[in-house]
Structure 1
Amino acid sequence: MKKLLLGFLFLFIQTATFAQQLETKIDNLLSTVFKDKDGPGGAFLIAKGGQPIYQKAFGKANIELGVDMNIQNVFQLGSITKQFTAIAILMLEEAVKLSTQDPISKYIPDYPNGDKITIHHLLTHTSGIKDFTKMKSISQIDQKDLSPKELVDFFKNEPVDFLPGEKFEYNNSGYAVLGYIIELTAQDTYEHYIQKNIFTKAGMTNSRYASDVAIIKNRAYGYQQNNNQYVNKTRISFTIPYASGSLMSTIGDMLKWQNALNQNTLLKASSSKKAFTAYQLNNGSSINYGYGWHISQINGFPSREHGGSVFGFKTMGVYLPQQDIYVIGLSNCDCNSPTQVTRDIAKILIETFKY
């Protein structure tokens, strides 16, 4: 019995030492990004096997009030929103409300060339339609509250950049159209559909459609840098990023999201697989993008990744399916991108858990 207790004690000490060494390594890496303790910061979570093994916050959630960041803070996600839009489309497909092979003219009859552009093209950024965020005229609408139809009408008559399926080019317009199609087929608003069918089902109680008006508990305020000075983020109407970038969440809720995907809480495995498949162009070349995720590699291991950028916020999430490791980083200043450091953390974890 004494030997058994000593064995357990040794194992406990060994495990605690391992955890401390990993925490120190991650802390040192993140301190190179979030150097200013009195400036904007970020929150990071690492999970292994669906359970958090690291959660930490850096910097300030509100500079003006001197409020420290904490792991419960709510951030704007930017383009990580596209993951939720893509899964919502697959949920509607599973409910036989639509097909990813449907032409968009089936839902928006007056869309130019809509009989050639499919929902699949929108999901994979291969539609060729003009990205409205790159149009000079976007300044005319960025603070206006538009309906989904008005947003789509803003760009739908622009000349196409290429024919559907000919090229991959990251495109926010495609996901705006997807949001509109969700509303048309579900007979519900995008905001309410996501809240009811994804956030509620996944237990994501601190996630929502973005608002600058609503009182949001634990909100992290967004900042930008101008001539080396921090300033409050530029205001936009959240009807503009819409289904391509208008959701908010926490690091804890984002782990619930990843777990819901892994546990098939929202979709059958066969449906989810469509989101995590690297698709091809018309000529057969791979685009390394699924539905709402970049299908990539880190140190030779498969990864599913996506970042986000919206005024005042930058975000990055990485999932390693072989290791069942999830890393999510959320920042409340678009001067602090978590993209590279999140991937660097993933590299450390691959090395750490390779045995």
Structure 2
Amino acid sequence: MVRNLNQFFLSLFCFWIALGCQKQQQEEKEENLVDNNNSIDIDSLSVEELEHFHHIFDSTFTKLYKTRRFNGVVLGGKNQQIVYQKAFGYRDIRRRTKLKEDDIFQLASVSKQFTASAILMLEQDSLLSVNDSINKFFPEFPYPGITIKMLLDHRSGLPNYIYLMDRELKDKHTPIDNQLCVDYMYEHQPGKYGSPDGRFKYSNSGYMLLASIVEKVTDSPFSTFLEERIFTPLHMDSTFTFDPVKVQQENIPLGHTGRGRKYEEYMLDGVLGDKSVYSNVEDLFKWHKALLRDSLLSAESKEKAFTFHSPKRKGKYNYGYGWRLFKPSDGTKVVYHGGWWRGYSTLFVHYPESEAFLIILTNRVNHSFVNTNHVFDVLEIPEFRRR
């Protein structure tokens, strides 16, 4: 199985890195959020290029689907053009209801980039600073010495709230909210995973707290902030945070185990910040385009998000604010994030310089989309970076 997965990523990234690592040749674009009436000059791909890239994508994912290693939707492109978009497999594997290209998936940890962006937008508004102590927002919080920055780059040392809530709550199906998680951290004070600003330790607790900080600062639900400041301005009309009614929509595929069994509703589905944004590949393409401009997030904010900040143990794979970072030997920047939550495996890859992108949303367990670091080893092979 490991060998097969390596072969998959080898074939996919041989193509995709060759596409994504090409240097951007066009002149600097004017700032624009999303305005369909104001077009931006771009270097369009030729018909031959589009056909070539489409063929590589289709042959790769068709083979994966036929060997039962892919059940989901993929979208990829370059220069703000979609070169491939297709759905493979089923919304409900047992009932054999087919997926559609615009189906909506739980994004899992790909949601973290929206949480980090919300914090950076509030910093742009001068309502907080990433250097603020979280005790400014939670005065009696039992874990001192932690800043917003440490939450953003997973160096807070906080314990995982997911294990705490799973241990303490009997009802595993009724959705809970962030406030209950914060209350339980106050009450039970589980042991820390490390010292503040110490080693990197991936933390869902940190991003749950970041969403709660947004609520403190804006005096409104986190979901409202995302809707009003990100989703609506970008016309991401199919994107929303967890809602027990909305998630019952027919166009939201069920999460499945690797063997095709459905996951049941879970109490932590309603906790926001670390997960539980729902979207489709078309809306995420709009998000990718917004990240190429400076209207939503300023150039300074994006530089913070796409930069490794800790001087300790810098390596090939690092973390910014809501994004994993990779820099191949030719110096190009790759920002990406994978996710997994109860049957949903997701991957979003964004190339700020070359404007290439890759979005994969699946509803059947495939941990290879989460643990992608080993995949990027192929970036260091020169022939994989050439077109």
Partner amino acid, structure 1, of 2:251: N
Task: Say which of 51, 61, 64 aligns to 1:20.
Answer: 51
Q: Is residue 334 from structure 1 mapped to residue 365 from structure 2 by the alignment? A: yes
Partner amino acid, structure 2, of 1:122: L
Partner amino acid, structure 2, of 1:117: I
User: Could you tell me which residue of structure 2 aligns to residue 261 of structure 1?
Assistant: 291
Sort the Cα spacing of 1:248 and 1:299 in 2 relative to 1 into closer, same or farther, 3 A: farther
Sort the Cα spacing of 1:80 and 1:88 in 2 relative to 1 into closer, same or farther, 3 A: same
- Give CA deviations for 1:302-340 in whole Å, capped at 9, x if unaligned: 210101111121000111223211101000112475455
Matches within 5 A, 1:30-45: 30-35=61-66, 41-45=71-75
- Measured after TM superposition, the shift of residue 53 of structure 1 is 1.2
- Give CA deviations for 1:18-77 in whole Å, capped at 9, x if unaligned: 43332222222223432367x971111112112211111111123344322121010110
Q: Is residue 306 from structure 1 mapped to residue 341 from structure 2 by the alignment? A: no
- Measured after TM superposition, the shift of residue 342 of structure 1 is 12
User: Could you tell me which residue of structure 1 aligns to residue 83 of structure 2?
Assistant: 53
Sort the Cα spacing of 1:299 and 1:53 in 2 relative to 1 into closer, same or farther, 3 A: farther
Sort the Cα spacing of 1:95 and 1:312 in 2 relative to 1 into closer, same or farther, 3 A: same
User: Could you tell me which residue of structure 1 aligns to residue 234 of structure 2?
Assistant: 202
The higher relative CO (CA closer than 8 Å, separation ≥ 6) is in 2
Task: Say which of 155, 179, 183 aligns to 1:153.
Answer: 183
Sort the Cα spacing of 1:163 and 1:240 in 2 relative to 1 into closer, same or farther, 3 A: farther
Instruction: Please tell me whether the aligned partners of residues 148 and 176 of structure 1 are also in contact (alpha carbons under 8 angstroms).
Output: yes
Unaligned runs of 5+ in 2: 1-44
> Which has the larger strand fraction?
1
User: Could you tell me which residue of structure 1 aligns to residue 256 of structure 2?
Assistant: 223
Instruction: Give, in whole Å, the separation in 2 of the partners of 1:26 and 1:139.
Output: 44
Instruction: Please tell me whether the aligned partners of residues 315 and 337 of structure 1 are also in contact (alpha carbons under 8 angstroms).
Output: no
User: Could you tell me which residue of structure 2 aligns to residue 119 of structure 1?
Assistant: 148
1:244 is paired with a residue whose SS is coil
User: Could you tell me which residue of structure 1 aligns to residue 135 of structure 2?
Assistant: 105
- Give CA deviations for 1:134-190 in whole Å, capped at 9, x if unaligned: 446166464343332211122351121211111100010000111110101011101
Instruction: Give, in whole Å, the separation in 2 of the partners of 1:181 and 1:296.
Output: 28
2:346 is paired with a residue whose SS is strand
Instruction: Give, in whole Å, the separation in 2 of the partners of 1:239 and 1:332.
Output: 15
Instruction: Give, in whole Å, the separation in 2 of the partners of 1:331 and 1:299.
Output: 30
TM-score (norm 2): 0.78
Which sits farther off after the overlay, 294-303 or 249-258? 294-303
Instruction: Give, in whole Å, the separation in 1 of the partners of 2:229 and 2:121.
Output: 9
Matches within 5 A, 1:316-355: 316-335=347-366, 337-338=368-369, 354=386
Task: Say which of 94, 98, 114 aligns to 2:124.
Answer: 94
User: Could you tell me which residue of structure 1 aligns to residue 162 of structure 2?
Assistant: 133
Instruction: Give, in whole Å, the separation in 1 of the partners of 2:47 and 2:373.
Output: 24
Unaligned runs of 5+ in 1: 1-13
Partner amino acid, structure 1, of 2:50: A
Partner amino acid, structure 2, of 1:326: F
